[in-house]
Amino acid sequence: MPKYKVGIVGATGYTGSELVRLLSQHPDVTIEFVTSESQAGNKIQKIHPHLLDIADIDLISVKEIDKHKPDLVFLALPHGVSMSFLKEHGLDKFAIIDLSGDFRFSSRGIYEEWYKKNHVAPQYMDDAVYGLPELFRDKIRNARLVANPGCYPTSAILPLAPLIKNGLIHPSSIVVDSKSGVTGAGAKPKAGLHFPNVFGNFTAYSLVNHRHTPEIENTLQKHTGYSTEVLFTPHLLPIDRGILTTTYSTPKKPVNKDLVEELFHSVYEKEHFVRVFDEPPSIKNIRGSNYCDIYATFDERTNKIITVSTIDNLVKGAAGQAVQNMNIMFGLIESTGLKHIPLNP
């Protein structure tokens, strides 16, 4: 018997349809409503035909949600739109998990510098909690507004946090070389994401100025207390889902391979969704699931610590992590409704 009622604001994007996939089978919640301003009045399967016969949902406008009295609302909206909706549609009366980048920073200045736009709802920034459960579980429990992490930051912070927190590496000049599937760039057609332009192709983009850079740095600092400096380079993989992130950093005290491996095993031993691998992980081992797989090693010859981590950008990098946060906020077991086994092959 489901105990909680939730709503989803924003249905046309990938995170919206993933939330429907995950929540429609969650044993303790019901989806009370899904909104779309452009598709209000249509069935959800009109935009997402794979949901035919599964989720019989009539899309409504965000203006009609009050009567549903949800226990929690997910905002599956683009950057910039979330903050406007929160403010303009009085969504602050609900517990909120926001999947955009609008509330991931404590500082308005950093947001405006990297996102190149004014923040229209800065009054909520202070109380927003960064929703990475493995690091901030306790704060999430009592949050009213959870800023769900970006996909790249999730894949980079989980392997880097133990190294910095435990004083193993110099927290400046960390190199993060990430490779992401195309769904990370959203559902809107663009020339750069047109099938023939991506198929059989591979490229780097947004060198030195991608806005996930300050998100990685600030979160690591918040968690570890160390000021960090990260060079982040994203690349576009010719696949639909999945991120693999390789990091390089320099030890600040003598380490060895065993010590590094044991650190990760001990830090993440009790986590539901972090699996520590003994060899470099691959993307299909986590496809469709909420896992983050991590491998860490040390190269004595060049004196570098290397980590390789993988997530499904739409699950642990977005909708799955949002549901994990919801479970924490509702006091449920954190893995409830999230035990999807990776789809491999």
Nearer CB in complex with a copy of itself: 65/216: 216
Q: Which of residues 201, 227, 256, 266 is near a copy of itself by CB under 8 A?
A: 201
Comparing CB distances to a copy of itself, the nearer of 23 and 332 is 23
**At its nearest, how many Å lie between a copy of itself and the CB of residue 91?**
27
Single-letter residue type at 211: R
Catalytic residue among 34, 151, 156, 283: 151
Q: Which of 34, 39, 46, 43 is nearest to 6 (CA)?
A: 34
Q: How far is the CB of 266 from a copy of itself (least distance, A)?
A: 16
Sequence-distant (6+) residues with CB within 8 A of 194 are none
Minimal distance in Å, beta carbon 242 to a copy of itself? 7
Q: Is 314 exposed, middle or buried (0-12, 13-18, 19+ CB in 10 A)?
A: buried
Give Cα 5 to chain centroid, integer Å. Answer: 22
Active site residue 292: no
Q: Does 194 bind a copy of itself (CB under 8 A)?
A: yes
Cross-strand bridge partners of residue 34: 8
- Tokens standing for residue 345: 């092959």
Binding of a copy of itself at residue 104 (CB under 8 A)? no
> What is the nearest approach in angstroms of a copy of itself to the Cβ of residue 256?
13
Our CB check for a copy of itself shows the closer of 144 and 197 to be: 197
CB closer to a copy of itself, 50 vs 67: 50
Other residues' Cβ atoms within 10 Å of the Cβ of residue 330: 18
CB neighbour list of residue 100: distance below 8 Å, 6 or more residues apart:
75, 77, 78, 79, 80, 81, 82, 83
In the complex with a copy of itself, which residue's Cβ is closer, 90 or 109? 109
Dist. CA 11–CA 13, nearest whole Å: 6
Half-sphere exposure of 45 (CA within 13 A, CB side): 9
| Closest of 88, 112, 86, 108 to residue 99, by C-alpha | 86
Cα separation of 142 and 69, whole Å? 19
Stretch that binds a copy of itself, among 59-67, 76-84, 125-133, 204-212 (CB under 8 A): 204-212
Q: What is the smallest separation between the CB atom of 41 and a copy of itself, expressed in angstroms?
A: 18
- 199 counts as binding a copy of itself under rule CB under 8 A: yes
What part of residues 302-341 is at the interface with a copy of itself (CB under 8 A)? 302-304, 306, 308, 314, 339, 341
Residue 158 as a binder of a copy of itself (CB under 8 A): the answer is no
Smallest distance, Å, CB 161 to a copy of itself? Answer: 19
Contacts with a copy of itself, 260-299, as mask; x by CB under 8 A:
---------------x-x--xxxxxxxxx----x---x-x
Which residues between 14 and 43 bind a copy of itself (CB under 8 A)?
Answer: 14, 17, 21, 24-25
197 binds a copy of itself (CB under 8 A): yes
CA atoms in the 13 A half-sphere facing the CB of 166: 17
Q: For residues 159 and 154, what is the distance between their CA atoms, to the nearest angstrom?
A: 9
Residue 198 C-alpha from the chain's centroid: 23
Among 38, 84, 107, 173, indicate the residue that binds a copy of itself (CB under 8 A).
173
Contact 164, 228 (CB under 8 A): yes
Per-residue x/- marks for a copy of itself, 206-245, CB under 8 A? -xx--------------------xxx-x-x-xxxxxx-x-
Q: Which active-site residues does the annotation give?
A: 151
